[in-house]
Chain A
Amino acid sequence: MKNLVEVKNIKKNYGKNEAVKGISFNIEEDEILGLLGPNGSGKTTTIGMLLGLLKPTSGEILINGQKLEGNRIEILEQINFISPYIELPKKLTVKQNLTVYGKLYKINNINERIEFLSEKLRLGGLLNSITGELSSGQKNRVSLAKALINEPKVLLLDEPTASLDPEVGDFVRSFLEDYKKEKKISILLASHNMNEVTRLCKSILMMKDGIIIDKGNPEELISKHGRKNLEEVFLKLSRSKNELN
């Protein structure tokens, strides 16, 4: 399988504070990679660097074989991002928001694309609704539609199901599984929901204090650390010293 994301020894310092201390990983085509770690472990900084919002202090990022440095615009056309901490303009209707982002991503057949996504994400009845008046679950699906408007090859997900009820959360997870399988995209999933990570991810990176302290598939990690589930592995690694690198 081809690596769509290649991260080579990236570091990020904010003054004397080392937020990310030289991490490397790849994400293959048709793979969901889980990025786990306690708050402040460097996950958001890593995602920021992958999105080109943060410049690594050193190291290199390649997306679909192209270096991010120097090819930011071409790469941004191929990736997208969803996070509960960013929103779409609240006063616009759902369709207006999707149209705006369709234009920003230079999508030719915007209406067809919106129709396709609204059908897949159950947005049909919401297209003319004001985005700010939607429920959390509805807003989440609209954000997901925005994140898929450009048919990204790489999708970065930061807590994609945070604050969703179990039914909507399950819908989103099932959608992501099917979409990944159908389009063969790469997904980086940062989440604190261990059941979600166990279900979706083929492999996992555990980060702490800016380094990767362990990696593997969920079953391997559970068995390696002699725990019952991924949550227990997470707790063990979060509370341990960084000795597993």
Chain B
Amino acid sequence: MYGLFLRHFYLITRSFPRILDLVYWPTIQITLWGFISNFFATHTTYYNNAVGVILTCAILYDFLFRTSIGFNMLFLEEIWSRNFTNLFIAPMKIGEILTSLVATALIRALIGLIPAVLLTSPLFGISILDLGIFLFFLFLSLYLFGITLGILVSAGLLRYGPSFENIAWSTMFLLAPFGCIYYPIEILPEMFQKIAYLLPLVYIFEEARNILINQTVDIQNIYNAFMWNGVYFVLSIALFYYSFHVAKKKGTLINMGE
């Protein structure tokens, strides 16, 4: 019994991502649901005239989640199937690997999204298409951020190996409180608001609510979302290349164990 305990204890203490994983899950859950509860307790009439805003935001968030997790899954599949080395000794440029993963992640996300969109109308009498042409820009922006997160996590997997896997599953939850998915940014403490404004998510979800509730469009929100997406996308690509360089120095590419 003690031996089995030690087996897992040693594993946890030898891996920073695993320790981090233990700490931040409860913290994130408490923070996210704390803000949601706080908002509904103080703004009970906010959503009165806009049935489906929460559902629309849930679908948008799910698209982001599927895109990001989908990208990570593609990368993790290669590690789990012990095919990772085969892939990295094939004559493919890093850019080619990333491009193929990005395209495949999009197809995976769309496969999950289309039934969800189609189901909301007959089941709840709500259509996400009410967002109009701007829905395309919101989805595009979410897709960009989703694959950006996917690339960042994959860079972590390259650099730290499979122990980074837990981070892969939880990046979206880590960002969710700052994304202001179900509540406006004003509900966050001032310091958190400053962080939230550095993410594209807050502009995307603020704009979705703005279109549905106020029936107006604030182009500035869409522009800000794309601007921050551009910044993070470039950073993620740079980090992936750097991680590949470090992995070649440290030997992670030939040593993808636990």
Contact = CB atoms under 8 A, between A and B. Distances in A.
A225 interface: no
B91 interface: yes
A24 to B, nearest CB: 21
Contact of B92 (A53, A80, A104, A146): A104
A105 B90 contact: yes
Q: Which residue among A51, A80, A89 has the maximum number of chain B CB atoms within 10 Å of its CB?
A: A89
Interface residues of A, number: 29
B89 A14 contact: no
Contacts of B102: none
Interface in A21-80: 44-45, 48, 51-55, 73-74, 76-77, 79-80
Contacts of A81: 85-86, 89
Interface string B70-97: 0000000100011111111111110000
Q: Which residue among A44, A53, A74, A83 has the maximum number of chain B CB atoms within 10 Å of its CB?
A: A53
A106 B91 contact: yes
B91 A86 contact: no
Given A73-B92, A104-B92, A106-B91, A146 B86 contact: yes
A220 interface: no
Contacts of A53: 85, 88-89, 248, 251, 253-254
Contacts, number: 68
A89 B83 CA distance: 6
Nearest to A103: B90
Contacts of B14: none
Contacts of B93: 73
Contacts of B90: 76, 101, 104-105
Interface string A79-100: 1110101111111000000000
A86 B83 contact: yes
Given A44-B254, A54-B254, A87 B89 contact: no
A61 to B, nearest CB: 13
B91 A73 contact: yes
B248 A101 contact: no
Contacts of A86: 82-86
A172 to B, nearest CB: 18
Contacts of B87: 104
Contact of A87 (B77, B82, B248, B253): B82
Contacts of B83: 86-89
A80 B89 contact: yes
B89 A85 contact: no
B86 A45 contact: no
Given A86-B83, A87-B82, A77 B91 contact: yes
B194 interface: no
Interface string B103-146: 00000000000000000000000000000000000000000000
Contacts of A89: 77, 81, 83
A85 B88 contact: no
Nearest to A156: B89
Nearest to B88: A53
Contacts of A105: 90-91
Contacts of A55: 245, 248-249
Nearest to A19: B251
A146 to B, nearest CB: 7
B215 to A, nearest CB: 48
A88 B89 CA distance: 13
Contacts of B251: 14, 45, 48, 53-54
Contacts of B250: 14
A48 B84 CA distance: 13
Nearest to A89: B81
A42 to B, nearest CB: 12
A74 B32 CA distance: 49
A51 B91 contact: no
Q: Which residue among B83, B91, B93, B250 has the maximum number of chain A CB atoms within 10 Å of its CB?
A: B91
Contact of A76 (B82, B89, B254): B89
A244 B248 CA distance: 31
A220 B211 CA distance: 83
Interface string A216-236: 000000000000000000000
Nearest to A81: B89
Closest A-B pairs by Cβ, 6 of them: A76-B91, A104-B90, A53-B253, A55-B248, A87-B82, A48-B254
8 contacts: A53-B251, A55-B245, A79-B89, A86-B84, A89-B77, A89-B83, A91-B81, A104-B92
Given A87-B83, A88-B83, 4 more contacts: A51-B85, A51-B254, A81-B85, A104-B92
